[in-house]
Amino acid sequence: MMMINTQCNRPSACATAPTETTCRRRPGDVVQLYQSNHIDAMRIYLANATILHSLRGTSIAVIVDAPDVRSLASNDATNALSSAAQAWVQANVRPYYPDVNIKYIAVGNERCALRGRPRRPHQGVHCRRNERGRRLAAAFRKRVRRPPPSWVPSSSSWRANGSPLLANVYPYYAYKNDNGVDLNFALFRPSSTTIDDNGHTYTNLFDAMVDSIYSAMEKEGGSDVPVVISETGWPSADGRGASKDNARVYNQNLINHVGKGTPKRPVALETYIFAMFDENQKKGDAIKRNKFTS
């Protein structure tokens, strides 16, 4: 995964290191690859000790995925320090932080991802934050993924929890699953499609999807919650509209665009492009297994 670091004067890259792949590069070699290409952030989908150790002393910012949220959830208030969430942090974060620049802890992935036909606001409630989540560790701020709304911005609803939101936003799947979505609208290219919504005009699908998240948070009192796009990308083969040219156009137009923000929130948007390596051992459609490398 590549990250567009919109906090800098120039776009800089950052990449996820998927584990469901036969591309078994040594973690140290991957870190060197990141550094030599000025890729300054990484997302890893499990807290692998070898990978985390290889990141010691580097400036690479890291998103570490925790296990499924249900495995960390605990409503037992008798001993917070022995909760599953605390135990996970003690085992997988404290041994490395701050030598490893762990920026976010992502709890849950894809189950609540904004992919395909937009979900209704009430769906995905299983991702709701557990009270024990606030006790992960005094030294670490918890980042929790939240359920996505519709891609019509003002129609969304979301219960804000005061934490930054890490959201997967894939215009490709909305395009793939709906013949009514114009390809150019999904690729940030000039299109006959526009969405006018509450005084905002949307000329691309990505902005509409992201602003639906902002709208949902506003409705639930979370207008000050920042958003990080923790995954986005376009496949290069094996699907409707999937090609190397379209992937190149989407990724480059995304990089050029996210520094401007969205119509609802015109500030730079931290964004990660999926993915660094093919996930050719991943179950499911071929398009998911091996076609999202950047």
Helix (H, G, I), strand (E, B) or coil at 96: coil
Among 110, 220, 270, 279, which one carries the catalytic annotation? 110
Question: End-to-end alpha-carbon separation of the chain, Å?
Answer: 7
Among 218, 231, 270, 279, which one carries the catalytic annotation? 231
CA 222 to the chain's CA centroid: 19
Q: Quickly list H helices, 55-150.
A: 69-72, 84-92
Q: Cα torsion for 257, 258, 259, 260, to the nearest 10°?
A: 70
Q: Quickly list H helices, the chain.
A: 27-36, 49-54, 69-72, 84-92, 171-176, 183-186, 205-219, 244-257, 286-290
Q: Determine the Cα–Cα distance for residues 193 and 174; give it in Å rounded to an integer.
A: 14
Q: Quick check: is 220 catalytic?
A: no
Q: Quick check: is 231 catalytic?
A: yes
**What letter would DSSP give residue 39?**
B
Helix (H, G, I), strand (E, B) or coil at 245: helix
Of 292, 276, 225, the closest CA to residue 3 belongs to: 276
Structure tokens at 268: 């730079």
Residues known to be catalytic: 110, 231
